[in-house]
Amino acid sequence: MGKLSKEKRPPIGAFANVVKEKVQESLRARRQELEAAKIQAQLEKETLDVTIPGVRRPLGRVHPLNATIDKVLDIFVGLGYTVAEGPQIETDYYNFEALNTPDDHPARDMQDTFYLSEGKLLRTHTSSVQIRYMEEHQPPIRIVAPGRVYRRDTVDATHSAVFHQVEMLAVDKGLTFSDLKGTIKEFLRQMFGPDLALQFRASYFPFTEPSAEVDMQWKGKWLEVMGCGMVDPNVLTAVGYDPEVYTGFAAGFGVERFAMVLHQIDDIRRLYNSDLRFLRQF
Ligand code: DAH
């Protein structure tokens, strides 16, 4: 431009301006095109088809045995009981001796109990938790103790060498057999239905006196569901309670039995072999 004459400068300058504007205009247009294409590509990439069916995640659920234990514990907690636990590997003292079980009692037999080394054994019932809890606490006591127990039973449709029990124990001043009956009735009716018919049958357990077994009417038959009784004074003495001051009642029952009755399960082994076709029904 500097070398142009005065006359030529304006028209050529004006022409240069036109060219400059044209170039800028095409650059702008091209940039817009590229940006639009970029947005379009991104939209296509991120498109979500909300009509495609979702992927179903497998849902876990509570095992029928645990569900039964939960229901039992819920009922007793509602009645003011506390949940307690004890070890599955026990000593003769907690499993038998402190529970007033004589040396020659058949339950102590090698045929019935799994004995381990060093005087240890696998507990045959959750009654051992009664002793452990009473040793550590003073009355009044109201506990429920769920847990695994072991017996040298031959496995069949109704027996298993490992199964579950729930133990119940109350100790206080002035507890009577009526309190035991009322508690058991309330528990079983919450568990199985308000119109459940029950009968208490005299029985024998070393750790209770008197002792009873409870039958409930189920599908037209009497079904034995638990053992219970007033805590034997010897058991109270073993943990340092004065049986002249305190009385107690206790009960123990098998969880598998309850689960089988509640869900019409015909073979106890179904509860252990983790067959999903079975478990999915609960
Ligand atoms: N421990 C007994 C059993 O395994 C059940 C039982 C009976 C527990 C009477 C108790 C009881 O607390 O009072 O067969």
Beta-bridge partner residues of 64:
none
Q: Give the Cα separation of 92 and 102 in Å (integer).
A: 11
Q: Whose CA is nearest to atom 5 of ligand 1?
A: 252
Q: Whose CA is nearest to atom 4 of ligand 1?
A: 125
Is 254's C-beta closer than 6 angstroms to any atom of ligand 1? Answer: no
Is 125's C-beta closer than 6 angstroms to any atom of ligand 1? Answer: yes
Q: Which atom of ligand 1 has the smallest separation from the CA of 130?
A: 12
pLDDT of residue 59: 84
3-class secondary structure, 150: strand
Q: Whose CA is nearest to atom 8 of ligand 1?
A: 252
Residue 144 pLDDT more than 80? Answer: yes
CATH of 64-279, one of 1.10.10.60, 1.10.630.10, 2.40.100.10, 3.30.930.10: 3.30.930.10
Q: How far is the CA of 252 from the centre of ligand 1 (A)?
A: 4
Q: Which atom of ligand 1 has the smallest separation from the CA of 208?
A: 13
pLDDT tens track for 99-143? 999 888 877 877 789 999 998 999 999 999 999 999 999 999 999
- Which residue in this structure is represented by tokens 């072991």? 150
Is 147's C-beta closer than 6 angstroms to any atom of ligand 1? Answer: no
pLDDT of residue 3: 85
pLDDT tens track for 266-277? 999 999 999 999
- For residue 200, report the phi and psi dihedrals to the nearest 5 degrees: -100, 125
* List of long-range contacts for 172-175, beta carbons under 8 Å, 24+ apart: 172/139, 172/140, 172/141, 172/142, 172/246, 172/247, 172/248, 173/139, 173/140, 173/245, 173/246, 173/247, 174/247, 175/230, 175/247, 175/248, 175/249
pLDDT tens track for 57-110? 988 899 999 999 999 999 999 999 999 999 999 999 999 999 999 888 877 877
Is there a contact between 150 and 124 (Cβ–Cβ < 8 Å)?
yes
